[in-house]
């Protein structure tokens, strides 16, 4: 179910950008209402799926890290996704900000896919998937610099938050405080 919702999100993003490019912002706005519902469902499904995986003795499929430690990754992903989508909704009257927040929300989810690429999935270090995921920010940065002469504030601050959050998750994962929280949230 979660996989279908996350795939639907990617398809929705393609449809939404195509509608705007075609000048059909009226349909884009109507479809956007469904996007809000889908985003909320994704957060619920993402959190529930993460908690279920963290409770399993085998943990997260294909992830060698201990489940309670790794739980920080998907939970922060869901928190950032929800925050970026909420900011995009709040800024829907400002197209330049709106589209960047939506793009950052989607890019935030890319690490899970990139980490499963051949060669990346066999890497023992999460650094490779993090670095490859961060490369998806480069076209936005280039676009901003070419079209505006400087970074858009959303690109700067949202992109910075995304990039900085990745190593912070790794550092947080093994702390006593995080493990206590993870044990509490996953229950007995």
Pick the closest to residue 113 from 94, 133, 96, 93 (CA basis).
133
Q: What is the pLDDT of residue 160?
A: 96
Given a cut of 70, the residues of the chain with pLDDT beneath it are: 121-124
* pLDDT of the residue at 111: 86
Q: What is the per-residue pLDDT for 34?
A: 95
pLDDT score, position 99: 95
- Give pLDDT, residue 126: 77
Which one, of 56, 52, 49, 62, lies nearest residue 4 by Cα?
49
Amino acid 64: pLDDT: 79
User: Given this model, what pLDDT does residue 186 score?
Assistant: 93
Instruction: Convert the pLDDT of each residue in 49-67 to its tens digit.
Output: 999 999 988 888 877 788 9
Which alpha helices (H) appear in the chain, and where do they start and end?
A: 2-21, 25-55, 67-70, 72-90, 95-108, 110-114, 127-134, 138-148, 153-173, 176-186
What are phi and psi for residue 64, nearest 5 degrees?
-75, -15
pLDDT recorded at residue 124: 63
Q: How many domains are there within the chain?
A: 1
Domain boundaries, position 70: 2-186
How many Å separate Cα 70 from the centre of its chain?
A: 16
Global pTM value: 0.92
Spatial contact of 159 and 104, defined as CB atoms under 8 Å apart: yes
Residue 151 is predicted with a pLDDT of 97
């Amino acid at each position: 179910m979660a996989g279908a919702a996350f795939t639907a999100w990617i398809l929705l993003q393609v449809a939404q950008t195509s509608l705007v490019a075609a000048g059909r912002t009226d349909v884009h706005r109507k479809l956007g209402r469904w996007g809000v519902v889908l985003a909320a469902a994704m957060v619920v499904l993402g959190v529930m799926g993460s908690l279920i995986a963290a409770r399993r003795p085998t943990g997260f499929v294909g992830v060698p890290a201990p489940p309670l430690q790794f739980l920080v990754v998907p939970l922060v992903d869901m928190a950032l996704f929800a925050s970026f989508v909420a900011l995009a909704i709040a800024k829907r009257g400002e197209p330049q900000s709106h589209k960047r927040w939506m793009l950052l929300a989607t890019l935030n989810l890319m690490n899970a896919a990139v980490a499963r690429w051949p060669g990346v999935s066999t890497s023992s270090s999460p650094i490779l998937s993090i670095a490859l995921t961060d490369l998806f920010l480069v076209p936005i940065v280039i676009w901003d610099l070419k079209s505006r002469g400087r970074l858009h504030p959303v690109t700067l601050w949202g992109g910075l938050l995304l990039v900085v959050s990745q190593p912070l998750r790794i550092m947080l994962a093994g702390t006593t405080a995080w493990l206590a929280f993870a044990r509490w949230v996953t229950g007995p």
